[in-house]
């Protein structure tokens, strides 16, 4: 069969089994353990001499369906599903770094990724340097003899800075670093980091991949060697294993990912343009706008700008709080990629693990507001925002 389009693979994916009852939808294997035909088979599976399932922490048919589908979409050899997005972050880092190693990380990251790197990794003797990854000279200056990994996300949460993946991929390859990119905001439909030389791609599957706000999960995609290491070390022994039920829900969510991303992007563009023209808005951060420095990457690195917008309101922090509280259709909640439009204040919510000094260094101001544009009519979202602006 010829190579299929991503939207087709979101629905079908690699079919690794045929249901004996002919079910159209793959069944949910809600089982913690799997029986063996005899003792010899059990021993062979534990020894890795025979394929088959043993225990859901080590693998599950429903989970495997999700892993194979995401590996295919990211055009990677394999994937490992995790219990949360942070499970994917920690598994991708802890599986390959040890005491004495050095990690080069983006200065702006999701708050819990930053907290893991800034506060947890140093406890285990892993050194971390946070740098502005839009500046190649800054990245070069951070390189040390013990550097082992480069970690970033693009666009960056929450200020939507876009990084040059080709530049970072080439730098990592030149210096023998494992490169890890968080691709949550784009999904494999809008950006494929592997095309730019990136080794490992992670997702918070909680967000767009699931798309319905009822799951927390993560996925790590990479080479067979990297994924085997992750599964046989951190996932096996620390145990951030995804529930089969959550994997089943994400498999279901993936079937509509393509049409959902089209609507998210289309509506976000309209909302961003509205915000940019508003007299009470200081600045809008959205790569779909020509005023955004990351706009130049659309059409080559990124197919579209995604569904997340950040913006600064003219006025005080109190004005920002008043604005958020005045919205009715937009839901005051963290996360993104849901059918509902979500609005939040990063400095006091998702990025609260940063100190104020760290936030400002990462470009996250006290007045920054982030919107995850949902699947409602864009006109209704804009009307809700307009009513909220009248309250400040």
Residues tagged active-site: 57, 110, 182, 207
* β 218-222/78-82 pair status: antiparallel
Q: Return the closest-CA partner of residue 347 out of 315, 320, 327.
A: 320
Q: Are 335 and 214 in contact (CB under 8 A)?
A: no
Q: Is 22 left (phi over 0), alpha (psi -120 to 50) or beta?
A: left
Q: How far apart are CA 193 and CA 197, in angstroms?
A: 7
Q: Is residue 48 classed exposed, middle or buried when 0-12, 13-18 and 19+ CB atoms within 10 A define those classes?
A: exposed
Contacts of 38 (CB under 8 A, 6+ apart): none
Q: Return the closest-CA partner of residue 113 out of 125, 102, 121.
A: 121
CA distances from 114 to 31, 175, 322 (A): 35, 23, 28
Name the helix (H) or strand (E) containing 309: strand 308-313
Q: What is the DSSP letter of 115?
A: H
């Amino acid at each position: 069969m010829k190579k299929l389009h991503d939207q087709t693979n979101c629905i079908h994916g690699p079919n690794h089994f045929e249901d004996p009852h002919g079910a159209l939808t793959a069944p949910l294997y809600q089982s913690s353990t799997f029986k063996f035909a005899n003792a010899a088979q059990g021993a062979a599976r534990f020894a890795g001499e025979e394929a088959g399932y043993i225990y859901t922490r080590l693998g599950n048919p429903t989970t495997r369906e999700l892993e194979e589908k995401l590996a295919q979409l990211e055009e990677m050899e394999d994937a490992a599903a995790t219990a949360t997005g942070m499970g994917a972050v920690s598994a991708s880092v802890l599986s390959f770094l040890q005491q004495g190693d050095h990690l080069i990380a983006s200065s702006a990251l999701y708050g819990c990724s930053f907290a893991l790197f800034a506060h947890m990794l140093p406890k285990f003797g892993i050194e971390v340097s946070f740098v502005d990854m839009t500046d190649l000279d800054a990245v070069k200056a951070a390189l040390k003899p013990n550097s082992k990994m480069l970690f970033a996300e693009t666009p960056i949460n929450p200020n939507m800075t876009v990084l040059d993946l080709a530049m970072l991929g080439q730098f990592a390859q030149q210096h023998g670093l494992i490169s890890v990119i968080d691709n949550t905001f784009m999904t494999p439909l809008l950006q494929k980091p592997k095309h730019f030389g990136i080794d490992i791609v992670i997702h918070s599957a909680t967000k767009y991949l699931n798309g319905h706000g009822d799951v927390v999960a993560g996925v790590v995609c990479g080479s067979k060697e990297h994924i085997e290491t992750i599964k046989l070390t951190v996932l096996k022994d620390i145990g951030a294993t995804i529930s089969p039920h959550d994997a089943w829900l994400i498999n279901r969510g993936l079937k509509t990912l393509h049409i959902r991303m089209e609507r998210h992007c289309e509506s976000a563009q309209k909302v961003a343009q509205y915000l940019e023209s508003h007299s009470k808005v200081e600045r809008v951060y959205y790569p779909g706008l020509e005023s955004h420095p990351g706009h130049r990457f659309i059409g080559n690195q990124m197919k579209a700008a995604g569904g997340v917008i950040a913006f600064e309101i003219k006025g005080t922090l109190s004005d920002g709080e008043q604005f958020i509280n005045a919205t009715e259709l937009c839901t005051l909640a963290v996360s993104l990629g849901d059918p509902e439009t979500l609005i939040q204040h990063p400095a006091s919510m998702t990025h609260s693990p940063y100190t104020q000094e760290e936030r400002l260094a990462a470009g996250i101001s006290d007045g920054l507001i982030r919107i995850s544009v949902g699947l409602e009519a864009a006109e209704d979202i804009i009307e809700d925002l307009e009513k909220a602006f009248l309250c400040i």
